[in-house]
Amino acid sequence: MYHKEKSIQMKSSASALYNNLSVLRIAPRSLTYFTVVHANMVNMVSASWDGLNYSHRQLQSKEANVATSSSLIMQAAWCVLPSRDILVLTSQKGIQMYESDGSIMVYWHALDTPETQTAQAVFARGIAAVREKYICVGISSGSMLVFDVPIKGSNITLSEVLEEHKESITDLASECSGSLECIADMVSADDSGNLCVWKSGEDFQLLNKIPDKAIEAFCSSVKLWKGTVVAGYGTGQIRLYEAVTGIVHAEVNAHARWIYSLDIAPFSGLLLSAAEDSLVRVWHLTMTPETNSVEIVHMYNECVTDTQICGAKFCDGDGYAFAVTGYDLSEIIRYTQV
């Protein structure tokens, strides 16, 4: 179904972090941007579609004051809003926001770090653009920060703090089908496998909480598409839930190790899952509104030999191409449909 293309070389290797790849497709300029986190830095590569031009940029994490320890970055992701794209970096010290090409930092939010080191780690993780104007970011305490983003400029403000989760946020996702009919706008996942489903607005509203029944559950990656939550777990399982009710549509014994990344191609319903077990799998989701059912079928496997995959993303809305990163690998591996 897919074959391997020429890889993109990066300036440094990828760190073992969840969802460690973000892709931004810029059609008007025939470019695709990729970002991958390496410890306290972000590698940004822009690749022209003809495969001839690559340019690199590296962004550093901002250290508050003169810290002796470096501030590790947990995640970097683009937030696509109607008027602008913002690149968000979440680290142990705070949240940095840049214009999409990484050239200008437009906003910095520092996390409250305690004076003396506590056993509980402090960091931000989980990034999602919600509806027209919000960027949500998760915190290790379980809180989520909602930022209000203007059409242009740096007057970004903290609009709300959502306190629902009690464990560290692992991932956030917003409804990606583009449909305005969906009630749920965002889903958040935490360290203990709990999922919260939200409606955005001046005040975000909690629509549903999906607790996890398994003791050892941990949800590392989550997506929301046409009202269906797709969640990837540390046990290697993928589960599909109806967002608003929490009804389980499907359960897949998908991987033999911890799932690190999920992605959905919204126009085709293709689902990409990647795990520490070296495998990337492509699935297909179909919705049948009449019976309120969701089906998932397996389409394809790709084994990235001797690699613990940490990021996998489709490069376009149809799922024609996808890209993969792995721990200790200094390249972004690409695949396109045959």
Partner 1 sequence: MSSRTLPLLFINLGGEMLYILDQRLRAQNIPADKAKKVMNDIITTMFNKKFLEELFKPQELYSKKALRTVFDRLAHASIMRLNQASMDKLYDLMTMAFKYQVLLCPRAKDILLVSFNHMDAIKDFVKDTPSVLSQVDETYRQLIEMYTPLSSGEFQLIRQTLLIFFQDMHIRVSIFLKDKVQNSNGRFVLPISGPVPHGTHIPGLIRMFSCNGEEVKRLQFRNGGNYTGVLREGSFEMFGERVIKLGTNMYSVSRPVETHMSGTSKNSAQKKSVNTAPNPLAKEELNMLARLMGGMEVQKPGNADSVLLCYEHCFNQQANAELVKIMGDFTEEAGEPCSSSANSKGDDLLAMMDGL
Query: CB of residue 139 vs partner 1: minimum separation in angstroms?
Result: 14
Nearest to 224 by CA among 204, 203, 199: 199
Name 188's Cβ contacts closer than 8 Å, sequence gap at least 6. 126, 136, 138, 144, 162, 164, 165, 169, 171, 172, 195, 196, 198, 222
Nearest to 315 by CA among 34, 38, 80, 126: 34
Is residue 93 part of the contact set for partner 1 (CB under 8 A)? no
Nearer to partner 1, 129 or 172 (CB): 172
Query: Tokens for 263?
Result: 């992605």
Query: CB of residue 167 vs partner 1: minimum separation in angstroms?
Result: 7
Is residue 306 part of the contact set for partner 1 (CB under 8 A)? yes
Do the Cβ atoms of 41 and 12 come closer than 8 Å?
yes
How many C-alpha atoms does 103 have within 13 Å on its Cβ side?
4
Q: Given candidates 254, 262, 264, 272, which one binds partner 1 under the rule CB under 8 A?
A: 254
SS3 28: helix
Is residue 296 part of the contact set for partner 1 (CB under 8 A)? yes
**Choices 13-21, 25-33, 42-50, 81-89; region in contact with partner 1 by CB under 8 A:** 13-21
Q: Given candidates 53, 103, 293, 336, which one binds partner 1 under the rule CB under 8 A?
A: 293
H or E stretch at 188: strand 186-190
Is residue 244 part of the contact set for partner 1 (CB under 8 A)? no
Q: Given candidates 123, 134, 147, 335, which one binds partner 1 under the rule CB under 8 A?
A: 123
Nearest to 235 by CA among 223, 247, 249, 220: 220
Query: CB of residue 318 vs partner 1: minimum separation in angstroms?
Result: 22
**Choices 79-87, 119-127, 173-181, 195-203; region in contact with partner 1 by CB under 8 A:** 119-127
Nearest to 255 by CA among 312, 294, 318, 195: 312
Do the Cβ atoms of 175 and 182 come closer than 8 Å?
yes
Is residue 38 part of the contact set for partner 1 (CB under 8 A)? yes
Is residue 301 part of the contact set for partner 1 (CB under 8 A)? yes
Nearer to partner 1, 259 or 323 (CB): 259
Residues binding partner 1 (CB under 8 A): 12-13, 15-17, 38-39, 69, 72, 74, 92, 117-121, 123, 167-168, 170, 191-192, 216-218, 220, 234-237, 247-258, 277-279, 292-298, 301, 303, 305-308, 327-328
